[in-house]
Amino acid sequence: MCRLDIWDPLSVRAQVLKTAIETSVMLLRIDDIVSGTKKSQKGDGQPQAVSE
């Protein structure tokens, strides 16, 4: 980055990392919810509410 004369403060890098982690956690939660509803529909045909 120094060769390109691009300087970003540590707070920007920390925020980017934090946002990336939050996004990946959110996607994993959504995946768990979707896979949970698919499993419950296979069982008795009645979808069940998925609680966190």
Q: What is the pLDDT of residue 42?
A: 67
Residue 24 to residue 16: CA distance in whole angstroms: 12
pTM for this prediction? 0.55
Q: What is the rounded CA–CA span in Å between residue 40 and residue 47? A: 6
Range 42-51 average pLDDT:
60
Confidence of residue 36 (pLDDT cuts 50, 70, 90): confident
* d(C-alpha 42, C-alpha 33), whole Å: 15
pLDDT classification of 35: cutoffs 50, 70, 90:
confident
DSSP assignment, residue 32? Answer: H
Total residues found in the chain within this entry? 52
